[in-house]
Structure 1
Amino acid sequence: MTDAATPLAGWTHTYSGKVRDLYRPEDGADRMLVVASDRVSAFDHVLEPAIPGKGALLTALSLWWFAQLSGADGGRAIPNHLIDGAVPPAEAEGRGMVVQSLDMLPVECVVRGYLTGSGWAEYQQDGTVCGIPLPEGLGNGDRLPEPIFTPAYKAPLGEHDENISFERTVELVGAERAAELRDTSLEIYRRAAAIAEAKGLILADTKFEFGLDADGVLTLADEVLTSDSSRYWDATAWRSGTTPAERMASFDKQIVRDWLAASWDKTGSPPELPSDIVERTAAKYRELLTLLTA
């Protein structure tokens, strides 16, 4: 796998996901270290080569969003997994977050505010997105009447995440917790979309992961509102564009998705990313961080 987990003094590597590596402290303390790698994934595959500087850019963006959602935007504080004052080891500086150990819920909480991607493909065929009926006459890139919650079952590494109904979410986590996941996800999306809009950006869709702390409190975890977990578009281009490509000028890894979709039939191993795709993607990640945090 690209950009293999780095040995860290005082920490034991326990798991690697598609793009992040997890560590436990050797002293047995009840905490974890999450390190964002430079790996990039698309269509449930980790791709070669990595995107230089990506881990640091996404970590900086997550930390900025955690701060906004802690009340800096004027809304209620959303509990998150960061441990105040905890510093990652020097080898992971800029890419690591020391966090609480949580009982992670097996639901990926996707919120869509605009019609695009797999949602657009389904809408063209059935008039729905993840089984949710939508009004007729919508186009690719159109804003939805209201943001919708379209959860997915979080599959193990190497397997495909599976879109699920809200009813299935209830079966997995219970009715009260499912409602809390839905309502909190929609709240975060609306708040983040308003912040992004003020910066000239559209937050088209995003996904969140949550866990429960020792007291059973729903806690926002993993990365949040990054260019890997979200689609960001240029608001001016969206308003003035006459084609989907013009409207959906993105600040995320859509460059990678588009190139891979055009270059690979999704059988066997994906091809290596060309250097210009890598460079353009890294530039978009940097630009998004600047636009949001400036």
Structure 2
Amino acid sequence: MPHPPVVSTSIPEVPVQRGKVRDIYDFGDRLLLIATDRISAFDWILPTAIADKGRVLTQISAFWFSQITLPHHLLSLDPGELPIPDGVNLEELEGRSMVVRKTKVIPVECVVRGYLEGSGWKEYQKSQTVCGEPLPPGLLQGSQLPEPIFTPATKAEQGHDENISFQQMCNLLGTNLAEDLRKKSLEIYRTAVNRAEQCGLIIADTKFEFGLIGSEVILIDEVLTPDSSRFWAKDTYEPGHAQLSFDKQFVREWLESTDWDKNSPPPELPREIVTQTRSKYIDAYEQLTGQSFAWKEA
């Protein structure tokens, strides 16, 4: 049996910001990022949590941070290194916590696409472009692109992130920083793709976030997880239809099959969808790292 899901956390007297999935506690020059088991889709936090999802996200991020040579924000996975007040359940935070350096967050999502899916596929069908980038004719849903492309988006506190052109990104951040972020994003993606392919996985697309400490660019947030990326099974990959995935696309597809209008509170997820989603996340971790997920069983 899985552990009970952690939907929210509480650390008294420490400033906190709550995102769709993460609770972020401010300890001055360091932050404590706690990945809860909340799951979001179509800009809604769903009423049903996925047990241990936050631990999978944290452990996958930690794995990638150990593989990436670029500077990043991760300092430790032990929340006990921070002055946590007495009475806080540290066991509940185990495996889902990252102690990180505080940065000035750069307000652009750095998206890299290696395959044609999602909003990119929808745009391509209309105009043979993705985020305004022209692509060859005749591509199918799930087709591999000739080269990975960088398609930035503005970060939205609430609502949907909005795709922008690279020129708009240059106008927003300055050309030098924009070009540096594009270079770093493509570099990380290519490194990760090579690793994932050795493990039988395809990373179809992903998004990165960066911050600044002084003038130094730092990789932040989660990295190459099933929440921020599309993971596909390499052995069943075939362009022309939706792929077997190890990410929350499975949940999106179930929601699309219901009569939910996406404008009212979303429905509860059925038990079998919750169970299968948890298994997919854990499978992604185990396949990528070659290690057994420590919290597979309660």
Alignment TM-score, normalising by the size of structure 2:
0.89
- The corresponding residue for 2:241 is 244
Aligned length: 275
- The corresponding residue for 2:248 is 253
The match for 2:257 among 259, 262, 281 is 262
- The corresponding residue for 2:160 is 160
- The corresponding residue for 1:53 is 52
- Partner Cα distance (2:142, 2:278) in 1: 24
The SS at the match of 1:12 is coil
Does 1:88 pair with 2:90?
Answer: no
The SS at the match of 2:79 is coil
Letter in 1 for 2:79: P
Q: Is the 8 A contact 1:7 1:13 kept in 2?
A: no
- The corresponding residue for 2:20 is 18
Cα deviation, residue 4, structure 1: 4.7
Cα deviation, residue 231, structure 1: 0.3
Cα deviation, residue 35, structure 1: 0.4
Letter in 1 for 2:167: E
Letter in 2 for 1:19: V
- Partner Cα distance (2:137, 2:193) in 1: 24
- The corresponding residue for 1:228 is 227
- The corresponding residue for 2:294 is none
Q: Point out where structure 2 has 5 or more consecutive residues left out of the alignment.
A: 81-89, 291-298
- The corresponding residue for 1:217 is 216
Cα deviation, residue 242, structure 1: 6.9
Q: 1:133 to 1:243 in 2, by over 3 A?
A: closer
- The corresponding residue for 1:285 is 281
- The corresponding residue for 1:206 is 206
- Partner Cα distance (1:7, 1:42) in 2: 24
Q: 1:80 to 1:242 in 2, by over 3 A?
A: closer
Q: Is the 8 A contact 2:232 2:244 kept in 1?
A: yes
1:136-195 per-residue CA deviation (whole Å, 9 max, x = no partner) reads: 000001000000001100011x32111111111111111000001111000000000000
- Partner Cα distance (1:174, 1:48) in 2: 40
Question: Which residues in structure 2 correspond to 1:29-40 (within 5 Å)?
Answer: 29-40=28-39
Q: Is the 8 A contact 2:142 2:240 kept in 1?
A: no
Cα deviation, residue 5, structure 1: 3.2
Alignment TM-score, normalising by the size of structure 1:
0.90
Q: Is the 8 A contact 1:13 1:21 kept in 2?
A: no
- Partner Cα distance (2:275, 2:246) in 1: 13
Cα deviation, residue 24, structure 1: 1.6
Identical positions, percent? 53
- Partner Cα distance (2:288, 2:6) in 1: 27
The SS at the match of 1:244 is coil
Q: Is the 8 A contact 1:22 1:35 kept in 2?
A: yes
Q: Is the 8 A contact 2:140 2:239 kept in 1?
A: no
- Partner Cα distance (1:4, 1:141) in 2: 33
Cα deviation, residue 37, structure 1: 0.5
Q: Point out where structure 1 has 5 or more consecutive residues left out of the alignment.
A: 70-76
The runs of 4+ residues in structure 1 deviating greater than 3 Å are 2-5
